[in-house]
Amino acid sequence: MRKFASSAFCVILALLINSWSSVWRYGTERASESRLGKLLDKYLHDSFQWNSEYIVAKNVFRRNADESYEDVTLVTQCSVNNLHYLIHMAGRWRGPVSVAVLTPGDDCVKALLGSYWLKKCFPDVFDQVSFHFVYPFDHTPTRSSSLTALQLLQHPTRGHNNFCTNAIKVLREFHGGNNYELNGIEYPHNTLRNIALEWVETKYVIVLDVDTFPSDGVRDNFLNFTSSSHFANLPSSARNVYIIPAFEAKAENPRQLPLKKSELVKYFKRSYVRPFHAETCRKCHEAENIGEWLSIPESEELAVAYEVAWEQSFEPFFISERGVVRYDERFKQYGFDRISQCCELHVAGYRFYVLNNAFVCHDGFKRRKTFHSTKDLENRKNLRIYTEEFIPELSRKYPESTRSCANYGVRIGHAKSRFLPRLDQRK
């Protein structure tokens, strides 16, 4: 009888403990949800509709540093799993940056935390960075989360180094899905680019992918270039783009990427560096005439090396005035997102100048076999939009233009270049 009573007592005690535990967990979860809800309300209050598909929360974290109109803003976009690249990108740029982050569902919380950590742990760099969050209408921010990283959301005063070490480690482990595989959400590169461009306040911009890094000193050298006589002697700057040749490096992390042209040339000879998309889209950067660019000695001053003509599939990275042609938001996932913009630049009468010293470098070699499974299907879909909708629309948009991007797929000849004297050759 005593044994039975003892067993019954143990069962009742276990039930009570389990009940108390459930009540405690429920209360903790409700408190966490309440805290999370307040957090989202605080940072996403300045939100509005963008076209018919997205909500934008602008300047969730905005730059604190003053900036001059005569400056260059680096514009980029990413999903939460690539936020960590901003550490090296913004660190190299050392100037104003505008970032649009795709933040559906739980990713919004991760983006809030990641942006907060970057601001707190790298204040000298991220004081010049503005974050804009973007999410589809049908994937609004989740107001409940089991993300244990929420415990780190505090100002890192004591033990700053330990806090930042842990925070950045968690940031690198964020999983929001690769850009092309976001749980059924088509990745809107061009929408994100346009949103990040919308709040640029400087005269000039450069739009880069988040895993493609500028060489050292591009911003300062370009600003010096714009005040030179060389720049003043070029045709109207509003319709010029200044191409920065693109490469990719066999690197394990962005810290190993070359900083200077002399260093890049050395790596190129060792096959550690090669032209961007050398294996996956040779035409995309072939018109940059990389062989000739590499043969031009590195100089102290940035200048135009030569002018190139537009070619099919051309998608260079470049610096331009901020009023540059925007990206067509019909192109999502893989293919033609940047090609279409370059095509419109050509039709609109822009000129393409290649700079002598500056370059960008992608972190890692692009390989054919490493693309996501639906890449070819997406490419065909976007090719149809490009040829059947986009190109015909340009003839109506620019009726006076004698230029065209028609006959897509027909490629004749090689990169055409018209060389300009370098600064050291000018009298």
- Per-residue tokens: 113: 């935390």
The domain locations on the chain are 32-210, 212-427
- CA end-to-end span of the chain, whole Å? 111
Round to whole Å and give the CA distance between 43 and 61. 8
Number of residues written out for the chain:
427
pLDDT value of position 185: 87
pLDDT value of position 24: 31
pLDDT value of position 68: 85
Q: How many helices (H) and strands (E) does the chain have?
A: 14, 15
Residues of the chain with pLDDT under 70: 1-37, 65, 143-161, 175-183, 252, 368-373, 375, 407-427
Round to whole Å and give the CA distance between 381 and 394. 19
**267-300 pLDDT, tens per residue?**
999 999 999 888 888 899 999 999 999 999 999 8
C-alpha separations of 282 from 158, 182, 247, 285 in Å: 51, 27, 12, 6
10 Å Cβ neighbour count for 88?
Answer: 18
Closest CA to 306 of 418, 158, 194, 193: 418
Whether residue 34 contacts residue 143, with contact meaning beta carbons closer than 8 Å, is answered with no
pLDDT value of position 182: 60
pLDDT value of position 35: 63
- Per-residue tokens: 224: 């010096």
Closest CA to 189 of 346, 378, 427: 378
Torsion of CA 226, 320, 254, 362, to 10 degrees: -130
pLDDT value of position 36: 65
pLDDT value of position 202: 96
Whether residue 302 contacts residue 333, with contact meaning beta carbons closer than 8 Å, is answered with no
pTM (2 decimals)?
Answer: 0.84
